[in-house]
A and B are shown apart, each in its own frame.
Chain A
Amino acid sequence: MTLPSTPFNPATLPDNDNVPGNHYAYCRRLDGQLFMQTGRMIAYYPAPGSSGIRFEPLSSATITGFVAERFSAPLYTRDWVVATGSGHLLLGDRGYDINSYTLEEGNLTLRAANLLAFDSTLELKQSIVPGFLTLIGTGTFLASSSGPVIFAEPPIRVDPQALVGWADCPSPSHHFDARWMTGFLGVAGGMLGVVSGEERQFDFTGAGTVLLQSSEHAVDDPHLLKQLESQVGTLAVPGLTRLQSVIQSRLSAEQRR
């Protein structure tokens, strides 16, 4: 049998890099602990003579103390595991590009769906911007993106779908196209559903770095619903009633399609 390419083994796999010729898979040389999203392990080689790699849910009793110190993002705990052990760990994320980044005494905020794994030396917090997570400290993390990542410096306005994350700069604000704003004010807000797709942007100012992906196809975020749910708790009866009517009209519009 002839092979399409020489198979890899732990001696030929990179220690901490993308699998050669493959942007969509990453090989991590594990020796200790790594936080990673569930279901992203595609394969691993246990280090010879070791007991292999274990994957434990964050709620696992043996690691709760360790986790609580580093992972303060309660919305996401069910989607993360701690990998413990030594060996070569191969990660893949639904065919998205995977890249590794190093933080040195820094902070970086990332769309939650784009964060794949991070060193246990880093600390993770839920960002005040819904749907984003902030990493603080020193260490390496892996992020996925739809297409390669582009680095840009503020001041910059970016399309929300293309935003992967940002480092060191203050939180972004929304920016709305002036002409759209005029129209919005003119028709008294009734036209919220009318969008051209480009009137809303994120505005970054100050010093720092903004990470963009080269495609407007956002990495699917299974957490959106959870974020919305978590915010419903802050509403009182009038707000809930209003929300209910909004959902009703959206539902009937969807069903009429």
Chain B
Amino acid sequence: MQSFRLNGSRVLEVELRGDAVRAASGAMIAYTGDVAFKSAGMGGGDGIRAAIKRRATGESVSLMRCSGKGTVWFAKDAMEIVVIDLAGDTLKVESEQLLVVSDSLRTDVAFAGLRGASSGQGLFTTTVTGSGPLALLSAGGPPIALEVSPQYPLVVDPQAFVASRGQLNQTFVTDVSWRNLVGEGSGEAFSLRFDGTGVVYIQPEER
């Protein structure tokens, strides 16, 4: 498995040994060795089907493929970085929070109900499946991991949502009436409610 190492909390160090990772375009800050950077294409490297889905859904993701031998350092807007290792399960993530995914992971687009529509980030969300590490970005401070269990359902502001994993059922709380009055530039009036068992990652700043 590839090694994703944090260098401080805002720089990610990835060791390439002839393998590849996909990273947010423009996130490379330095590299040593023999590494090639190539746009992963309009599907983010998931083939034509995903590309068409992305086109259609607006859940755009601009990734580049970095392959070769050497060390690459990644960072974006001095945001905090969190590394998550997937072991055959699926992570749902807001595409603009994606920094680097191991090439052993598959990314796709999944229907996410109305959440995307309400926060203006497309109707769909990105899913990452497989075994391997990935790095996510968190704006405004370190990400917060919140546990969801049958005893403790969780309600999240869609604009603070970063990622979720586990057996979660996602619904919309619409009795929230604070944003449709003024709001931070959006007419969003939803909160996301998670029931089930899993973990939700949020960031302390709203997109």
The yes or no answer to B145 lying at the interface (CB within 8 A) is yes
A4 within 8 Å of B (CB atoms): yes
Find out whether the CB atom of A19 lies under 8 angstroms from the CB atom of B144: yes
User: Considering the chains assembled together, what is the distance between the CA atoms of A91 and B149 in angstroms?
Assistant: 21
Query: Which residues of A are found within 8 Å of B182, using beta-carbon distances?
Result: 38, 78-79
Q: What B residues does A38 contact at CB under 8 A?
A: 178-179, 181-184
Chain A residue numbers with a CB within 8 Å of B72 are: none
User: Do A24 and B146 touch across chains, with their CB atoms under 8 A apart?
Assistant: no
**Neighbouring B residues of A5 by C-beta, 8 Å:** 145
Number of A-B contacts (CB under 8 A): 127
Choose, from A49-57, A106-114, A118-126, the stretch at the interface: A49-57
| B84 in contact with A1 (CB, 8 Å) | yes
Is A6 in the interface zone, CB < 8 Å from B? yes
Q: Please, what's the 1-or-0 string for B30-61, where 1 marks a CB less than 8 Å from any CB in chain A?
A: 00000000000000000000000000000000
Contact A1 B85 (CB under 8 A): yes
> Closest CB-CB distance, A139 to chain B, in whole Å?
22
B177–A56 touching, CB < 8 Å: yes
- Bin chain B's interface residue count: 35 or more
- Asked if residues A42 and B156 are in contact (CB atoms below 8 Å), the reply is yes
> Main SS of chain B's interface residues?
loop
- Among residues of A, the one whose C-beta sits closest to the C-beta of B151 is A48
A136 to chain B, nearest CB (A): 25
**A231 is an interface residue with CB less than 8 A from chain B:** no
User: Nearest Cβ distance between residue A241 and chain B, in whole angstroms?
Assistant: 32
Q: Is A43 an interface residue (CB 8 A)?
A: yes
Question: What 1/0 flags go to B64-76 for Cβ under 8 Å of A?
Answer: 0000000000000
The reply to whether A2 and B85 contact each other, CB–CB distance below 8 Å, is yes
B153 in the interface (beta carbon within 8 A): yes
Q: Please, how many angstroms separate the alpha-carbon atoms of A79 and B181 in the complex?
A: 9
CA–CA, A45 to B154, complex, Å?
5
Instruction: Give the docked Cα–Cα distance between A92 and B140 (Å).
Output: 9
Given A1-B85, A3-B84, A38-B182: 4 more A-B contacts, CB < 8 Å: A2-B87, A23-B141, A38-B179, A57-B177
A-B contact pairs, 21 of them (CB 8 A): A1-B86, A2-B84, A2-B87, A24-B140, A24-B142, A24-B205, A25-B144, A39-B184, A41-B191, A42-B160, A42-B202, A43-B144, A43-B156, A44-B155, A46-B153, A46-B155, A48-B152, A53-B155, A56-B177, A92-B203, A93-B204
Name A's B-contacting residues (CB within 8 A).
1-10, 19, 21-25, 38-39, 41-46, 48, 52-57, 59-60, 78-79, 81, 90, 92-95
* Among all A-B residue pairs, the 9 with the closest Cβ atoms: A95-B140, A24-B141, A92-B204, A7-B145, A42-B160, A24-B204, A7-B147, A9-B147, A25-B204
